[in-house]
Amino acid sequence: MNPITLQNYAEGKWIAGSGGMAELRSAINGDVVALTSSQGLDFSAMLNFACNHGGPALRALTFHDRAKLLKALAEALTARKEELYELSYNTGATRADSWIDIDGGIGTFAVYQGKGRRELPNERILIDGALEALSRNGTFQGLHVYTSLQGAAVHINAFNFPVWGMLEKLAPTFLAGVPAIVKPASATSYLTEAAVRIMLEANVLPKGALQLIVGSTGDLFDHLTCQDVVSFTGSAQTAAKLKSHPVIQRESVRFVAEQDSLNASVLGPDVTPDAPEFDLFVKEVAREMTAKAGQKCTAIRRALVPAGLLDAVQDALIARLEKTTPGDPRDEATRMGALVSISQREDVRAKVAELARDASIVFGDPKASPVNEKGAFISPVLLRCDRPWEARAVHDVEAFGPVSTLVPYKDGADVIALANRGKGSLVMSVFTHDTTFARDVVLGSGAYHGRLAFIDRDSVKESTGHGSPMPHMIHGGPGRAGGGEELGGIRGVTHYMQRSALQGNPRVLSAVVNRYVAGMPVEEATQHPFRRKFHDLPIGYQLKTKSREITLEDIEHFAHFTGDTFYAHMDEVAAAANPLFGGRVAHGYLILAFAAGLFVDPDPGPVLANYGLDNLRFVKPVKPGDAIQVALTVKDKTLRKPDQGEVRWDVVVTNRDGDTVAAYDLLTMNAA
């Protein structure tokens, strides 16, 4: 098969490098599969194109519009994913490995489009937190908001996940309204290029939203500004080099690093050889050693086990690894593919030699080529370090391949200290059924790990395991892991936005965020708001109800009718002794029910359903003889379907003196 010449996508067109072509070889047989170069690109022009075209177009869209883009891209990739699977074999990945990379990446897009529609407003500004009262009379208040950065996101990705590594960065970036320039690792860039082509051919992205560099980044960093973000995945050495670039320092360019780390897995001190957690631990360590041939940034590098179980765990692990032989990833019988390249194999061999100074190899021969000499195949390698506190390399050196080291510990305090010697990791898994030990691990070791996965007999059927970063959860870690943070649901979106404090009159704040802010001028309802359709309800449209007195008979009837005969409602002597009430009071839910009775319009109309209350607070007790009144105000609106929209109502219930007794957000679905 003739090698393909990869192309860059810059300034809205595909461009082949003008020289200095690098050969990319198959991990299976060493054949040249692609040629790549970025020579001739104008990197300054690429940044300008992103900022002048992609950025404004994305920022003009709402969060919901951007979420729809992600959905369309996910559908396009799904429809053509078999093309990606076929290319992926040359990276050394088995079908199962490619599923993690390709379907996992598409799944990240799917999660973020859903979260964008559900958790973000149909707006371009994101409110962060509650309104802050900054003055006595409420004429000067504060809000925190997020707005899109006005630069570009430069994504520098690692070789091990050419699809997922790109998509897990693009999802929050696009949702934030920021264009991206993707720079994949050269070794597997042919797979990334194919995925980019599929996304661009879907014809849903604005011009300039996505560009691709398949080669060196040249002088790209020289042109970065404070509005740009560099998001990096790879080695600590490369991260340190990039992070120290003078422009990164001078312009305070955001730099997010997700580095490889010495992730650990702990077999809890409560576990015995016949406990379910023992087998689960052995299975997970073996899986993390062999999935993607151990080339995962989250792979288990140190398996920490009670000293008394070291031999038993070693025997059980070897028995599993003996069944995992490397082979051609296209062969259905293969259980582990190849490393990504010959150079990667030589790096793993060198790192194993370093580890062997502190530990003994108890399984595998790192010098052997178990399939063929031209491919980047290596056998799984298990080491054992009997004196972990005297060791250095075991806690400092990572062999980025199918390599793990067994490490014994004495007790709970010892294993926590050993785990922390890794100086920061992306993830640590703990196999225990002891909740006290689980809490001790979090308190003693949480500061050193970006994620802690507790796996036991109760969670295993649905657990995603040690090495699967989920889009909903933080991916990143302190220290050796880079100190950065990716994913984490909507948190990941805000990494590409600026958090700003807004201060001003409620009228101004409301106009800026397009949401009701307490204290702003309101439009008094001339027609009951429940008679108006979604599009006919302006923000700040307010109904003030008549008042209703709450009697002792109301309280007693409600108590007997609902069965809630709590003493504060029924026993005058006991209620009088309560320092919060000083006598009988109305039920909180009676107040809600009576409030609804005051503002609900009973006839059929645009309100299709009441489906929830948010932020409910009972602020002040209501005693028999007091009266309540309701202010119902349109707070926010989100169109969910072409003919339906969610209305968020601000509900404030006051007493006869005008004091707030209850407050909450009411959610209704209204016809548009």
CATH for 100:
3.40.605.10
Q: What is the CATH number of the domain that holds 408?
A: 3.40.309.10
User: Within this chain, do residues 269 and 177 fall inside the same structural domain, yes or no?
Assistant: no
- Statement to judge: residues 20 and 87 lie in one domain: yes
Range of the domain at 93: 4-121+150-258
User: Residue 587 domain-assigned?
Assistant: yes
Domain check: are 270 and 200 in the same one? no
The catalytically annotated residue of 168, 288, 297, 646 is 297
Q: Which residues of the chain have pLDDT under 50?
A: none
Q: Which of 336, 270, 279 is nearest to 460 (CA)?
A: 279
pLDDT in tens, 270-286: 999 999 999 999 999 99
Task: State yes or no: is 193 an active-site residue.
Answer: no
For residues 344 and 313, membership in a common domain is answered with yes
Q: Are residues 384 and 307 in the same domain?
A: yes
Give the type of residue at 383.
L
| 259 close to 239: Cβ distance less than 8 angstroms | yes
Residue from 51, 168, 193, 258 carrying the catalytic annotation: 258
249 lies in the same domain as 316: no
Cα–Cα distances (Å) from 660 to 178, 520, 600, 630, in that order, read 42, 17, 20, 10
Look up 297 and say whether it is catalytic.
yes
| CATH number of 539's domain | 3.10.129.10
Q: Is 144 part of a structural domain of the chain? A: no
- pLDDT at position 359: 96
The upper half-sphere exposure of residue 505, i.e. CA atoms within 13 Å in the direction of its Cβ, equals 5
Residue 361 is assigned to a structural domain of this protein: yes
Residue at 411: amino acid letter: D
Asked if residue 271 and residue 203 are part of one domain, the reply reads no
Number of structural domains in the chain: 3
Cβ pair 309, 347 in contact under 8 A: no
In a domain, 88, yes or no: yes
pLDDT at 325: 85
Can you tell me the distance from the alpha carbon of 34 to that of 56, in angstroms, rounded to the nearest whole number? 35
Considering the domain architecture, whether residues 17 and 160 belong to the same structural domain is answered as yes
The domain boundary residue, chosen from 220, 238, 258: 258
Q: CA dist 311 to 111, 114, 360, Å?
A: 42, 47, 13
Q: Which residues contact 311 (CB under 8 A, 6 or more apart)?
A: none
Residue 424 inside a domain? The answer is no
- Would you mind telling me the total number of residues written for the chain in this entry? 672
174, 198: one domain: yes
Q: Is residue 499 situated within a structural domain? A: no
Same domain, residue pair 116 and 252: yes
Rounded CA gap, 129 and 123, in Å? 16
Q: Which of 397, 419, 441 is the last residue of a domain?
A: 419
> Tokens for 158?
């690692």
Rounded to whole angstroms, the Cα distance separating 643 from 649 reads: 19
Residue 542 tokens, joined: 């307010």
The span from the CA of 568 to the CA of 558, in Å, is 13
For residue 1, what pLDDT is reported? Answer: 65
Choose one of 215, 237, 258: the last residue of a domain.
258
Q: What CA–CA distance (Å, rounded) separates 643 from 666?
A: 20
| Backbone angle region of 334, left / alpha / beta, with phi > 0 → left and psi within -120 to 50 → alpha | beta
DSSP-derived secondary structure for 57-120: HHHTS-HHHHHHHHHHHHHHHHHTHHHHHHHHGGGT--HHHHIIIIIHHHHHHHHHHHHHHHHS
In a domain, 283, yes or no: yes
Could you tell me if 327 and 211 lie in one domain? no
CA dist., res. 197 & res. 131, Å (int): 44
Does residue 204 contact residue 65 with C-beta atoms inside 8 Å? no
